Amino acid sequence: MTTKRRMLDTLNRMLARTGFSLQRRQDHRSVVDAAHPMTRTLCRSASFAREPLALVDAGCSGGLDERWRIFDRQLRAWGIDAMSAECARLRTAERNPGVRYIDARLDMALVPAALPCNNPWPRTSTAAALAQQAHANRGGANAVRDNQWQEQSLSSRTLTVDALLEAESIDAMDFLKIDLDGPDFDILSGFAPHFGRLQTLGVQLEVNFFGTAANNVHTFHNTDRLMRAHGFEFFGLTPYRYSTAALPAAFTAGVLGPTAFGRVIQGDALYFRDPAGETGVCALSAVKLLKLACLFELFDMPDCAAEILLDFRDLIGRQDTDRLLDLLVPHLDGNKISYADYMARFRADPRGFL
């Protein structure tokens, strides 16, 4: 236990009766390396030159997440969005020839899923704020920033998931992101039958936390059921709160969106394959396992990446596994130590990680 932490604990005990506390950061002991050094090392050694990371981003307004740029020319990505002007802007700005932007509305050939009942969105302060801004003279950039896609000129082109995959000759999809503000569960249902053939490793989805118990509604319990049916495990959730218009809260992301307090209405759910938890022979190739380890690191789960490197060391067959493990180790009390030393500290005294 550090001197600083002892002082904080002592002060908090003294302040306990007053109802006040000195809040300390939850990650004060071990801090994940935001530079993602293991993934950078693998990319520098051209580990994915023959099999680039394949990404499909359904709802790509604003551009690809910066985490994917670490792969540089070892990335193939397809961004799909209904906003034609935004896709044109992204095409003009894009410097990676492996990244394409398609202006089209994704749709299902089948009957769409039922809309969630008891939708609290119209009662939120965010909905009220957006309605107040609807008639203002606001540029396209502001509409994109505040996720007001309804104000944009939308593409007349409609594609089913099957048609998209065929038209773009997408024969691999390591990661899928869906954020469409509406038909997300429909589109997920369209992609799901292709997960096995495309060897999909991870999926990030916008989920709703309202609706009925019906099995065809776009709500979290159905998303989770569908993902598990296709061999994925739930790994993470970023919840978004929205205050009611009866008592608005401060906006937290610099846009008219989630708020500091309020009901959890939506969230981004994260699913991955979990070969370390499966029995039998691993169905993933060495390159796929390395990609999965990179995905875990990119989404701040270096522990899961380390588990892949350890459990499948022989299958991966690299000579630098120990070095890769060292790169995954978080900073402990501000210091970077080796994987062997980090684990030795834990085994010697797990309470040292309190």
CATH number of the domain residue 212 falls in: 3.40.50
The rounded distance, in Å, linking the Cα atoms of 26 and 5 is 12
Q: In degrees, to the nearest 5, what angle opens at C-alpha 79 toward C-alphas 209 and 301?
A: 55
What confidence score (pLDDT) does residue 109 get?
59
Q: What is the pLDDT of residue 118?
A: 83
Token pair of 158 as six digits: 């409609």
Count of domains in the chain? 1
Residue ranges, the chain, pLDDT below 70? 1-28, 109-117, 135-152
Q: Can you read off the two tokens belonging to residue 13?
A: 């005990």
On whether residue 346 sits in a domain, the answer given is no
Pair type for strands 263-272 and 233-242: antiparallel
> Within a domain: residue 171?
yes
The predicted structure's pLDDT at residue 318: 95
Identify the burial level of 208 via C-beta atoms within 10 angstroms of its C-beta, where 0-12 means exposed, 13-18 middle and 19 or more buried. Answer: buried
| Residue at 161 is within a domain | yes
pLDDT at 152: 62
Residue 118: inside a domain, yes or no? Answer: yes
Domain assignment of residue 64, yes or no? yes
Q: Which two tokens stand for residue 23?
A: 């809040």
**Does residue 184 sit in helix, strand or coil?**
helix
For residues 97 and 75, the answer to whether their CB atoms sit within 8 Å is: no
State whether the Cα torsion 250-253-254-258 is positive or negative. negative
DSSP states of 252-276:
SSSSSS-BSSSEEEEEEEEEE--GG
Residue-by-residue DSSP string for 82-151: SBHHHHHHHHHH---TTEEEEE-EEE-SSPPPBPPSS--GGGBHHHHHHHHHTTS---HHHHHHTT-GGG
Note whether residue 223 is domain-resident. yes
- For the record, the structure tokens of 352 come out as 């040292």
CA–CA gap between residue 304 and residue 233 (Å, rounded):
13
- Identity of residue 239: P
Give the pLDDT score at 275: 97
Q: What is the CA radius of gyration of the chain?
A: 23
Q: What is the pLDDT of residue 154?
A: 83
Which helix or strand (DSSP H or E) is residue 74 part of? none
* Residue with token string 């994940």: 32
Q: How many CA atoms lie within 13 A of 15 on its CB side?
A: 11
Domain that holds residue 168: 37-273
Task: Name residue, tokens 């769409």.
Answer: 112
pLDDT score recorded for residue 256: 93
Q: What are phi and psi of 334, to 5 degrees?
A: 85, 0
Handedness of CA 231, 297, 242, 152 (dihedral sign): negative
pLDDT at res. 279: 87
The token pair at 258 is 């989630």
Residue 69 within any structural domain of the chain: yes
| Tens digit of each residue's pLDDT (9 = 90 or more) over 244-273 | 999 999 999 888 999 999 999 999 999 999
d(CA 290, CA 293) in angstroms, rounded, equals 5
Q: Is residue 138 part of a domain?
A: yes
Q: Which position has the token pair 């709500």? A: 219
pTM of the full predicted structure? 0.86
Q: Which residue type sits at 32?
A: V
> Which tokens in the block code for residue 21?
């506390």
